[in-house]
Structure 1
């Protein structure tokens, strides 16, 4: 604590305008700012963890083609491994292979467009004509 007071007094000597505010107020604002920055970092870390951003490296051999949520934590996935596709059931506790697909589903740009993407494209094309 003595070191902190010595450092703060040395800091205030370098900036005499701030010395008028007082040591107690500056320590409170400094600690408040520190708590705010740490809380902000923790909130960002929590949000990034919840967003589950994909890995930076693209994996060409293994990818999820389609997914269908069944419940709050359960979903069906069509997973492509190499040239083969599999229907997989996933819960929060386990992943089960249901079957291998005989006829693979279309992937990538050949798949059906999402409704929001279609509306956005129509809106952008409409504004381009104006």
Structure 2
């Protein structure tokens, strides 16, 4: 009789251990909520990076038209600037405001502009800095 009771107790203990606690598995809505939150975070990060790239106006990302190039820009206000354009063989000085774009002057003598300084200045400085850092 003692063996039967101990076998029943062992069977009850084994059944309780095998079933495990009910709170061990997370509920299904918790998995869906965390998945949706992670997805929304990824979408927000992608949209922020796209906005940031648009604001940076990197020359490598924008389409390059060799017939028309912006050589230099000079901000003169919050949203106003003076721009030196190269159109074919001519150079033009243009004023840009929020409402319009005005031709200030066509330059009779084209200004000499370093081609490496306009777009690759940051890249060349970064490369030099990385080379100096690697040598140390």
Q: TM-score range by the shorter chain?
A: 0.5 to 0.7
2:55 pairs with 36, 43, 50, which one? Answer: 50
- Shift, 1:118, TM fit: 9.5
- Shift, 1:34, TM fit: 2.0
- Shift, 1:105, TM fit: 0.4
- Which residue number corresponds to residue 39 of structure 1? 44
- Shift, 1:42, TM fit: 2.0
Matched, 1:84 2:90: yes
- Higher Cα Rg, which structure: 2
Bigger drift between 76-85 and 116-125 goes to: 116-125
Distance in 2 (alpha carbons) for counterparts of 1:20 and 1:128: 50
Moved >6 Å (runs of 4+): 115-130
- Which residue number corresponds to residue 103 of structure 2? 97
Change (3 A) 1:128 1:30: closer
Change (3 A) 1:128 1:104: farther
Change (3 A) 1:103 1:41: same
**Pairwise CA RMSD of aligned residues?**
3.5
Question: TM-score, normalised on structure 2?
Answer: 0.61
Specify every segment of 5 or more residues in structure 1 that has no aligned partner in the other structure, as ranges. Answer: 1-18
Matched, 1:74 2:57: no
Question: TM-score, normalised on structure 1?
Answer: 0.64
